[in-house]
Amino acid sequence: MIDKKVRYIYGIHAVSNIINSDHNKIIKIYLKKNYTSKNLTNLFTQAIDAGLYIEEADADKLSMLCESNKHQGVVCEIEDIDLSFFNLDNYLLTTKNPFILILDQIKDPNNLGACIRTANAVGCNLIIKRKSNSSPISPAVYKASCGGTSGINIYESNDLNGILKRLKKHNITIVGTDHRAKSSYREMSKLEEHTGVCVVMGSEDVGISRGLKNSCDIMCSIPIHGSVACLNISVACGVILYEVAKYR
């Protein structure tokens, strides 16, 4: 039996996006009492047109629901499945040329949300993230993703090494990133146009784990020419994903 969870999304743009893309998940929308914002008025009309239930709430309740005071006057309650119940084997059997992003130990919710947003934009159809020692898919992640969680599969697991082994059995090329790698990200000649690909990104402080590095078919780095030590993980993720996408 699939374990369903209640999650909260906040922010005008994020809520508007899920109304447009996946309003069947929405249980209820909470709108700030006595709002005067034109954007909230437009959002109210959008929700009514979609046949959604709307409840007025004061600012304190909105902050309590989404654990943030940056809700912009709207919080959306959605029903979501447990991310641990994704059927990876079925996905691998039914998806042609998979484009997968694995995120290892991304602790900052804003970075995680930004990575999800980029993955959605570039055309990834699956994101796999480490479950422990990693940010959960929280309201802050939903907001930072700007709707990127809609229309893309997200799977949580602590067995990332086992998952890479399963991907390789399906002839999916594994691309890893490390600042010490000798090959530049521009050297993607080993990628074949008609095979699946999985990009593995790790946190800024420790990168991807040694076990994951050993499973990668390609290890690459992003050259740094200035005085900074490294790029923000969400920026690095965008650079690598769009480079890989050129070969798809």
Any idea which of 60-64, 77-81, 194-198 has the lowest mean pLDDT?
Answer: 77-81
pLDDT of residue 195: 76
Quote the mean pLDDT of the chain: 87
pTM: 0.78
The pLDDT > 90 percentage for the chain reads: 48
- Domains belonging to the chain, first-starting first, are 4-81 (3.30.1330.30), 84-245 (3.40.1280.10)
The pLDDT > 70 percentage for the chain reads: 94
What are 65-122's pLDDT values in tens digits? Answer: 888 888 999 999 988 766 667 888 888 888 888 999 999 999 999 999 999 999 999 9
> Of how many residues is the chain composed?
248
Q: Residue range 175-194: average pLDDT? A: 76
Q: Residue range 207-226: average pLDDT? A: 87
Any idea which of 35-49, 164-178, 225-239 has the lowest mean pLDDT?
Answer: 225-239
- Which long-range CB contacts under 8 A does 233-236 form with residues at least 24 apart? 233/106, 233/108, 233/111, 233/115, 233/201, 233/202, 233/203, 233/204, 234/110, 234/111, 234/114, 234/115, 234/118, 236/177, 236/201
Any idea which of 37-51, 183-197, 232-246 has the lowest mean pLDDT?
Answer: 183-197
**CB-side neighbour CA atoms (13 Å) of 244:** 30
- Asked if the model's pLDDT at residue 2 lies above 50, the reply is no
pLDDT of residue 154: 92
**Whole-angstrom Cα distance, residue 7 to residue 248?**
34
Q: Rounded to 5 degrees, what are φ and ψ at 221?
A: -125, 165
pLDDT of residue 84: 65
Residue from 65, 199, 83 nearest 131 by CA: 83
- Asked if the model's pLDDT at residue 200 lies above 90, the reply is yes
What are 11-29's pLDDT values in tens digits? Answer: 898 888 888 877 888 899 9
- Asked if the model's pLDDT at residue 189 lies above 70, the reply is no
- Asked if the model's pLDDT at residue 3 lies above 60, the reply is no
Higher pLDDT, 7 or 50: 50
